[in-house]
Amino acid sequence: MGRIRTFTEVEVARTARQVFWDRGYEDTALPDLERATGLNRSSIYHSFGSKRGLFDAAVENYLDEVIRPRLAPLRGDTVESAALETYLLGLHAAMTEGHTALAANGCLLLNATGSPLGRDASLQTVVAAYCDDLRTAITAGVAARRADLDEAEQKSLAVTCTGLVFAAMAIVRVNAAAAGDLIEAALAQVRR
């Protein structure tokens, strides 16, 4: 009974994610989203309720398909000793070699923090949770790689490493080379 859906919300959220990532929330207008998703305004509003609703779906998708896959190797019960280095090398490559979305646009969430949307409490909560996830994952990676350190030293190293990753993401759009240096510094600390 009735016509079948010709799109899935995940696909649309993924497409919208890229647009928001490229142009930022405020600079993305409805016509941009219509064009990119191939959907009409009416359909977008029917599925997501508002531009903000679509953005929230895009953020979910960003976490699911961009952030968490990268962090996954750091989150198992038994973390490979090389996992953290692999993660950092992956970041470094993304930032310096190719024209990846990450190098060109930085982090979708961190960027939103400085934009008008960053005054929104619910978005701040999402960013804070992301920040926490990142620190937890890196802490696990540090523990696996640097079993020679005591717990306090591991924790301190994890904070440093997390901070360097954050700084790199915050600055990469403006100065990719500097971002690469930051990741290299993190690698050096992890390896020492």
Partner DNA sequence: CGTATTGTGAACTGACCATTTCACTATAGA
Partner DNA sequence: TCTATAGTGAAATGGTCAGTTCACAATACG
90 lines the binding site for its own copies (CB under 8 A)? no
Among 27, 29, 50, 72, indicate the residue that binds its own copies (CB under 8 A). Answer: 27
Question: 155 Cβ partners below 8 Å, 6+ apart?
Answer: 139
Nearest to 71, CA basis, from 144, 154, 134: 134
How many C-alpha atoms does 88 have within 13 Å on its Cβ side?
A: 29
Among 1, 4, 147, 174, indicate the residue that binds its own copies (CB under 8 A). Answer: 174
Give the span between the Cα atoms of 21 and 32, in whole angstroms.
13
Give the shortest CB-30-to-DNA separation in angstroms.
4
Residue 24 or residue 163: which is nearer to DNA going by CB? Answer: 24
Give the shortest CB-186-to-its own copies separation in angstroms.
8
- The distance from CA 108 to its chain's CA centroid, rounded to whole angstroms, is 6
Give the shortest CB-179-to-DNA separation in angstroms.
29
Where do contacts with DNA occur on this chain (CB under 7 A)? Answer: 1-7, 28-31, 38-43, 45-47, 50-52
